Structures are given as structure tokens and as C-alpha cells.
Amino acid sequence: MTSQVVREILRETRERLSASTPPTDPMKVNDPRNLPARAADLRSRGISPIIAEIKPRILGRSLLPEEVAAMARRYEADGACAISVLTQPTYFLGSPENAKSAREASSLPILRKDFILEERQLDEVGCDLVLLIAAFSKDLDGLVEAAEARGMEPLVEVHTEEELIAALKTGTRMVGINNRNLSTLEVSLDTFERLGPVAKGTGLFVVAESGIETRKDVLRMEEAGADALLVGTSLMREPALLPHLNGAARP
């Protein structure tokens, strides 16, 4: 059972898809940027790998391309591992163009974050990584394969043990464990502490998502096995927080 907000987003996404014309040609991302390599480089320098998010909803308005570009450049300068871009247009006020602007402005891996329900959505914009939410993907394995065929690395998001099992049956090399409950929208870092070690034990690259607000939270998630951490709300409210979260700001 998902929350009313999530159900509305899914309904709107399906309506938008039914009214749109599918792209003519499949997207192809040449020379995709490598998230695990970037994370390893940061760790070798004592910096926690933070995937910094561009999330317009927190500001209550859509963003101009130049604003997206400026955010992407600042995140890179402050030591982000990658940049996540919300592209869902109604609730999150994002757009595929935002992902394009971020990728053009930065050399970091770009993660597209949206509600991907059909393969043709993968052809809307080229990114290095794409979020696939296990709870909403009827053909998760097919979407994973379709993303990889386009040169995009799928990050399969899970919230429960059952979803993690489903993700492990696909060819994904990455999973994101979301600390937000889809039914209540409540956040608990306990979710990652329960599922993170299981995912880590399979050899996957594991990302902790949601509820990470302090350096203490970062260290807690890393202790539970996080290879990278996705942070959105906190950074949109206070961009200067990033060097403190990732440990780059030394006393």
C-alpha cells in the first residue's frame, strides 16, 4: 500500500505517458561516467561519497537551466561524488532538461531520479545512471537490461526485503536502499541498517537514500555498508552543508 502522494504521482506519470509520443530512436550514452570509480577516489582521500541532489520542490519552484548548472558546478567544487537530478515535473517540479543541464555543467556522474514505468522513458534524456524503483516496476529485469543497453547504469531502489530479493534477481550492479516508507512517508535510518549489510554481502554497490542530514548520519550509514549516500533536502536548503557532510571541511 503506497501513500496518496505516491499514488497521485504514479497516476500522473501514466497519464503523461499515454498522451506523449514515444521517442523515435533509443537513447545512447557514450562514455558514461563511473560512480564506483569516483566513490573510490574520494574515499582514498578521506572524503565520504555523497550523491548531491537537485530537487526543485524544496525551493517551491522550477529551476532555470542556468540555476541547475550553477548548482551542479557548486556540488562538484564542494566534493560531491555524483549529482542526482529529479526530473518528475509535477510534484517535484523537475524536468529531463535539468538532467541535461547538470551533465553539461559538470564532469560528475549524473543520476536521473524519476518514476520510470516504461522503457521509452529511458529515451527522454541521457544520463550516466537511472533510478529504477523496484516497487513500481512490473518488468524490473527488462528495465535493467534496457538501461544497460543504452549505456546507463541502473540503480535499483528498494525499501523492503522482498524488493531487495527482486533486485538481486536482475543484472543490476547497484542498489539504493531508501529509508523512506512508501506507505507512511516516514523516514528511519534503521531501514538501511537492516538491509544494507545484506545487499553489501552480495557484492553490489550500495547507496543509502533519505534521512541523511548530519555528519553523524553519514558515518552511521557507512558503518552499515553504504558505498555512497544520496542527500537531497538538506543540501537544497543549505548547499554549504556538503563539505561538512562528506568530511571535506576539516577543523
In the chain, the N- to C-terminal Cα span, in Å, equals 46
Phi, psi of 167 (to 5 degrees): -65, -40
- Going from the C-alpha of 156 to that of each of 66, 101, 131, 177, 204, the distances in angstroms are 30, 24, 6, 8, 11
Catalytic residue, from 48, 55, 98, 153: name it. Answer: 55
Active-site residue 210, yes or no? yes
Cα 72 → chain centroid: 15
**123: Cβ–Cβ under 8 A, 6 or more apart, which residues?**
22, 23, 25, 26, 27, 150
In eight-state DSSP terms, residue 57 is G
Is 119 an annotated catalytic residue?
Answer: no
Query: What's the chain's length in residues?
Result: 251
Strand 205-209 versus strand 228-231 pairing type: parallel
For 101-113, letters b (16+ CB in 10 Å) and e give bbbebbebbbbbb
**CB atoms near residue 247 (< 10 Å):** 17
Catalytic pick from 193, 209, 234, 246? 209
- Catalytic, 53? Answer yes
Catalytic site residue 246?
A: no
Catalytic residue among 124, 157, 163, 193: 157
* β strands within 35-179, DSSP E: 50-54, 82-86, 110-113, 129-133, 153-158, 174-178
Whether 113 is catalytic: yes
* Catalytic hit among 48, 84, 137, 210: 210
**In angstroms, rounded to a whole number, what is the distance separating the alpha carbons of residues 100 and 102?**
5
**Which of 106, 178, 179, 234 does the annotation list as catalytic?**
178
Joined together, the cell numbers standing for residue 151 give 549505456
209 is catalytic: yes
Catalytic residue among 48, 100, 106, 113: 113
Tell me the catalytic residues. Answer: 53, 55, 113, 157, 178, 209-210
